[in-house]
Chains A and B, each alone.
Chain A
Amino acid sequence: MTGAPARPSLEITGLTLRIGASEILRGVDLRLAAGRIQGLAGESGSGKTMTGLAVLGLLPATARLGGSISYAGRELLSMAPRERNALRGTEIAMVFQDPSTSLHPMLSIGAQLTDHLRHHRRLDRAAARGRAEELLARVRIPDPAHALRRFPHQFSGGQRQRIAIAIALACSPKVLIADEPTTALDVTVQAGVLHLLRELATEMGLAVLLVTHDLGVMSAVADRVAVMRGGEVVEDGERAQVFTAPAHPYTASLLASLPGAAHGVQSLDDVRALREAARE
């Protein structure tokens, strides 16, 4: 996807969030476009996960939201819960960090995939099975027909996460919220999931919000990168620009502490210098 900026498929404007006395988001602006991966980076507690959950409408009942999240011309924040439920899992899907908790341990993969299809798409049993096999093949699970009869524990961590992605894709969503989708995976397995995310965005025209603290992952797949701190987006730009010429000092300081980044620490002495600077 190159050329002119695509029309946003989901637009977050001035999003604020309070839970009790704490102000968790202080005016977040983000635009997701079809076929593009928008990265959302930040350290723990910066509000990146809460932004994703706000889009999904999965915040606790005590949450007070302000601003706007518009999807295909519709305002999500003022939508009735019933309509919101109909969108979630169909048009706007999600993948979470840990596939061993997001998949049901006692239900077969087939049951988990076909339930979803039969509920949202009203498919009959045979049609749902056929579609489920297609989806598993799409995320490269070997022998899909057999895999449908198996249970989550019979798959490796990387396969489990790809199955979770297959469930997310079941209803051909337009938007995918992926919150730390590779954080629980080993590094040699992570690459496979990243390749898959990249392909899905490009081939299916998915708009992806990739929430991750891992700037290496961000650098590998994101088209745009937004950096959050204290409930605010401090920087949002094209990947190469954010990594090589960060506009905000906070982004620069994050990158400076990373081995392998353009201006990151390259040696033990670099790290010591960073430590001394922090002491002063």
Chain B
Amino acid sequence: MSELLRVSGLRVVYPGRPPVRAVDGVDLTVAAGQVVGLVGESGCGKSTVARALCGLVAPAAGTVVFDGTPVPPLGLRRRPVALTRIQLVFQDPYASLHPRRPVGAQIGDGVRAAAARGAESAEPARWLDRVGLAADAARRFPHEFSGGQRQRIAIARALAARPDLLIGDEPISALDASTQAVVAALMRDLAVDSGAGLLFISHDLSVVRLIADRLVVMYRGRIVESGPARDIWAEPRHPYTQSLLAAVPVPDGSGTLPPATPDGVEYPLDPVLR
């Protein structure tokens, strides 16, 4: 697999008193056709990583290199055409879709982004079919769809731009539980089938482990464990990963309470990399 994205020593600091080191020295790679799951709890810096990858926040240190070229922070102007090869799917499809434009036109934006780079795309109707929606959805508006359907539309729009890297920032957390796994798997399959890499950011470990090849666990702005998803799920080595996995209640009907973590517990920051 060829390397698509390389993040080295990424640090993002938000101003404040004192300044907040949201991301503090993160190294990450995503290869073409690879699915990397980035997991962690609120405030660990995982969304900030996503924003830095596409230039939405400027790093204080470190580099983000996409396909051999550094990703510049976005200014006030339109982002460079080449960077439309990176596409994002956000958490809330109610906010990320335009409420007053037909769905087909919004997917058309993606098609035009692909065309501007000379990449081949397809008709919006074709992308709707790919995500499991009927072709006549193109004429309708976002409010006519359920949350899960809207997120499929957001995925269709991102894919229509023919990205080489797809980033999902909590793309399933606003969805009903019954559609979460299905939408996550759909993102995985469509990205991998088109040869793109997928960085899937989520706090839901039980879904991430189904779709990710590699897992990256973040805690307090740092990566504390990374490696093949299967290995980490089976045998977490970092104390934080261990309590994170143990805390997920299993819907097996057994009435088992996960162990409670005491208040204010601090985990070591030394990473386990494998």
Contacts and interface: CB of A to CB of B under 8 A. Distances in A.
Contacts of B185: 268, 271-272, 275
Contacts of A201: none
A257 B182 contact: yes
Contacts of A268: 185, 188, 210-211
Chain A's interface size range is 35 or more
A258 B248 contact: no
Q: Which of A187, A214, A218 has the most CB of B within 10 A?
A: A187
A254 B256 CA distance: 20
Contact of B41 (A142, A188, A218, A257): A188
Contacts of A38: none
A243 B147 CA distance: 26
A216 B258 CA distance: 10
B91 to A, nearest CB: 14
Nearest to B185: A271
B132 A189 contact: no
Nearest to A272: B185
Interface string A250-276: 000111011111101101100110110
Interface string B256-274: 1111110110000000000
B249 interface: yes
Contacts of B178: 43, 253-254, 257-258
B109 interface: no
Nearest to A44: B176
Interface in B187-215: 188-189, 203, 205-207, 209-211
Given A44-B147, A220-B258, A264 B249 contact: no
B251 A191 contact: no
A258 B249 contact: no
B152 to A, nearest CB: 11
A194 B258 CA distance: 9
Q: Which of A218, A243, A279 has the most CB of B within 10 A?
A: A243
A259 B207 contact: yes
Contacts of A142: 263
Contacts of B206: 216, 258-260
B182 A278 contact: yes
A121 to B, nearest CB: 29
A191 B244 contact: no
B69 interface: no
B258 A191 contact: yes
Contact of B251 (A241, A258, A279): A258
B246 to A, nearest CB: 9
Interface string A185-207: 01111111011001000000000
Interface in B229-264: 243-244, 247-261, 263-264
A190 B260 CA distance: 8
A228 B203 CA distance: 26
A258 B181 contact: yes
Q: Which of B177, B182, B206, B257 has the most CB of A within 10 A?
A: B177
Nearest to A187: B247
Given A156-B264, A192-B260, A192-B263, 16 more contacts: A159-B263, A188-B243, A190-B258, A191-B247, A214-B177, A216-B248, A218-B251, A242-B253, A253-B178, A258-B178, A259-B207, A260-B250, A260-B251, A274-B182, A275-B182, A278-B182
Interface of B: 41-42, 132, 147, 176-182, 184-186, 188-189, 203, 205-207, 209-211, 243-244, 247-261, 263-264
Closest 10 CB pairs of A and B: A243-B253, A216-B249, A186-B41, A271-B185, A215-B251, A220-B249, A43-B176, A192-B260, A259-B206, A257-B178
Interface of A: 43-44, 140, 142, 156-159, 186-192, 194-195, 198, 213-221, 239-244, 253-255, 257-262, 264-265, 267-268, 271-272, 274-275, 278-279
